[in-house]
Structure 1
Amino acid sequence: MIFNLLRATYITLLLVFIGSFSFAQSNYFKMSYGFGGGINKSYTDVYKGSFGYTAYGVFDYHITPFVTLGLEGQYGMVQGGDIETDPHNRQFVNQYTSITANVKLMLGEVVDYDKSEFLYNLRGLYVGVGIGVINNKITDIVRIKPSWAAVDPGYGPFPGKDKSLNMAVPLNFGFNYYINDGYGYMRYIININAQSNFTFGEGLDGYNDPSTKFKNNSPDVYNSYTIGFKYMLGRIKSYRKTL
């Protein structure tokens, strides 16, 4: 009888341990892909930027549910200036494509959100950085000032290239909203992202004017503001926290 009691106690403790261990862990999919789009605005050597558009596709590898390595491809239009209102009568339109590798760190990786509903709801908040290239294709640009320009009519041509390849460094700040599937796994993600893209070179606006005459002492930048959708897939891996 004592043996049966010990065996029953052992089995009970084992089940409690297994249940507690299972509760403290969750499973997640190791990969995701997605797409989205939004608007962008340029900040270049041209006096005033304008709004354009950005569309993207992304593939991520999830080191954990809240740390990702990914590739992002973009296609869009960046523009700036106005031939009538710009001080130098400059304007440009760039139909660009880019590809970057990036890493993102979410709040859920560094905080104990299990004990706070507020932190749990914010666990998808993230920052990120990347590196890659942008392919610039200038489709419209003012190379020579118009004859009616107030200053130096007919001046030109403004130096620069219509096609170029530059290094790009994106900085990301965003939020992932997770949606579970019917089995309780994190499967779908709605993504909101703000991205600053620093480009190194003079290809984004197509102008490469000497700094002695024009302000030309900082990287050309375009900021994009997008919303997108991601789908998680692939092999399942365990995570130390409850998801």
Structure 2
Amino acid sequence: MIFNLLRATYITLFLVFVGSFSYAQSNYFKMSYGFGAGANKSYTDVYKGSFGYTAYGVFDYHITPFVTVGLEGQYGMIQGGDIVTDPHNRQFVNKYMAISANAKLMLGELVDYNKSEFLYNIRGLYVGMGVGAIKNKITDIVRYKPSWAAVDPGYGPFPGVDKSVNLWVPLNFGFNYFINDGYGYMRYIININAQSNFTLGEGLDGYNDSSAKFKNNSPDVYNTYTIGFKYMLGTIKSYRKTL
């Protein structure tokens, strides 16, 4: 009698433990891919940047639902300057391609979002960093000042190359909004992202002027502002918190 009671008590406690453990966990897909597009703005040796466009594709591996490593490819147009209004009459257009490996960390990995509706709603906030290469193709550039320039008409050529490959370091700040499928799994992601892209080299604007005559003491940078969509897929893995 006592043995049966102990056995029943043990089984009951075991089932409660398993049930609690299962409730505290969720399953998620280990991979995702996506695409998006938006605007960019350049900050280079040219006095004033302009807006261009960027399209991208991504493939990520989810170490957890909120920690990813992946690859990103970009294609777009970066431009800056104006032959009329620029102090040195410079302007450029760059039709570029780039690829990077990157990692991202979301807020959901760091906080107990199940205790706060506000934290739950912003658990997709993230920061990230990557490294890769950017292939520059200058399709329009002023190498010689026009004859009507106010200063040094006809000066040139401005040094630089029309085609180059530079090291590319993207820094990300963004937000993932998760949407569940009909089975309750996190399946779809709407992504909003701001990215600062540092290039180590002088290929982004096509100008490589001496710093003695022109301001040329900081990396060429372009920022992107994009919206995109991701789809989660692959095998399923368990996570320690409820999603």
Distance 2:174 2:209 in 1: 35
1:107-146 paired onto structure 2 within 5 Å: 107-146=107-146
State the AA in 1 paired with 2:172: N
Distance 1:183 1:8 in 2: 34
Query: 1:84 Cα shift?
Result: 0.4
Distance 1:242 1:213 in 2: 60
Distance 1:201 1:14 in 2: 62
Partner of 1:199: 199
Mean CA deviation greater in 233-242 or 215-224: 233-242
Distance 1:83 1:165 in 2: 25
Map Cα deviations across residues 28-64 of structure 1 (whole Å, 9 max, x no partner): 1110000000000000000000000000000001111
Query: 1:2 Cα shift?
Result: 4.0
Moved over 6 A (4+): none
Secondary structure class of the residue paired with 2:20: helix
Secondary structure class of the residue paired with 1:139: strand
Query: 1:13 Cα shift?
Result: 1.6
Distance 1:183 1:9 in 2: 34
1:1-243 paired onto structure 2 within 5 Å: 1-243=1-243
Map Cα deviations across residues 169-215 of structure 1 (whole Å, 9 max, x no partner): 00000000000111111110000000000001000000000000000
State the AA in 1 paired with 2:185: Y
Secondary structure class of the residue paired with 2:5: helix
Structure 2-normalised TM-score?
Answer: 0.98
Distance 1:149 1:14 in 2: 85
Query: 1:85 Cα shift?
Result: 0.3
Structure 1-normalised TM-score?
Answer: 0.98
State the AA in 2 paired with 1:121: N
Secondary structure class of the residue paired with 1:191: strand
Map Cα deviations across residues 104-146 of structure 1 (whole Å, 9 max, x no partner): 0000111111111111111100000110000000000000111
Distance 1:178 1:15 in 2: 32
Identity of matched residues, %: 87
State the AA in 1 paired with 2:203: G
Cα RMSD over matched residues? 0.9
Secondary structure class of the residue paired with 2:47: coil
Distance 2:14 2:170 in 1: 50
State the AA in 2 paired with 1:151: V
State the AA in 1 paired with 2:200: F
Distance 2:55 2:169 in 1: 17
Distance 1:3 1:164 in 2: 80
Distance 1:158 1:3 in 2: 93
- State the number of aligned residues: 243
State the AA in 2 paired with 1:85: T
Distance 1:13 1:101 in 2: 47
Map Cα deviations across residues 77-111 of structure 1 (whole Å, 9 max, x no partner): 00000000000000000000000110100001111
Query: 1:6 Cα shift?
Result: 3.2
Distance 2:146 2:108 in 1: 56
State the AA in 1 paired with 2:95: Q
Distance 2:13 2:227 in 1: 48
Query: 1:3 Cα shift?
Result: 4.1
Gaps of 5+ in 1: none
Gaps of 5+ in 2: none
State the AA in 2 paired with 1:160: G
